[in-house]
Amino acid sequence: MISSKDVKVEEEINFETVRIDDPDLPEGEELVMVEGEKGIDIVYYRVKYIDGVEQSRAEYNRETKKQKIDQVIHVGTKPIKEESENRDNT
């Protein structure tokens, strides 16, 4: 017996991490400017069954329930000067 059913599923959407060079931060330092948050989409599928066993699943609609927020990290690029360069050894 062949049948089909529409199903609604909530799916988590991972956030991206965006790295931005920051000339005001010392090289090697990182500063999280925006914490990332996962989003949630509501996805609608049409599922086809043969003898009660799922055979295929086709997405036909998607809605955003909660928008993801990308994480933003500033990465230091300011060169670190060694103290010995600034000392006078006389």
Q: How far apart are CA 7 and CA 54, in angstroms?
A: 12
Tell me the three state secondary structure of residue 85.
helix
Instruction: Answer yes or no: is pLDDT of 89 > 90.
Output: no
Cα(21)–Cα(62) distance, rounded to whole angstroms? 35
Stretch 22-38: mean pLDDT: 96
* pLDDT given for residue 80 in this prediction: 87
Chain position carrying tokens 């959407």: 13
The tens digit of pLDDT for each residue in 43-88 reads 999 999 999 999 999 999 999 999 999 999 999 999 988 654 555 5
Cβ atoms 25, 77 nearer than 8 A: yes
pTM of the model: 0.69
The neighbour count for residue 25, using CB atoms within 10 Å, is 15
What is the structure's pLDDT at 60? Answer: 98
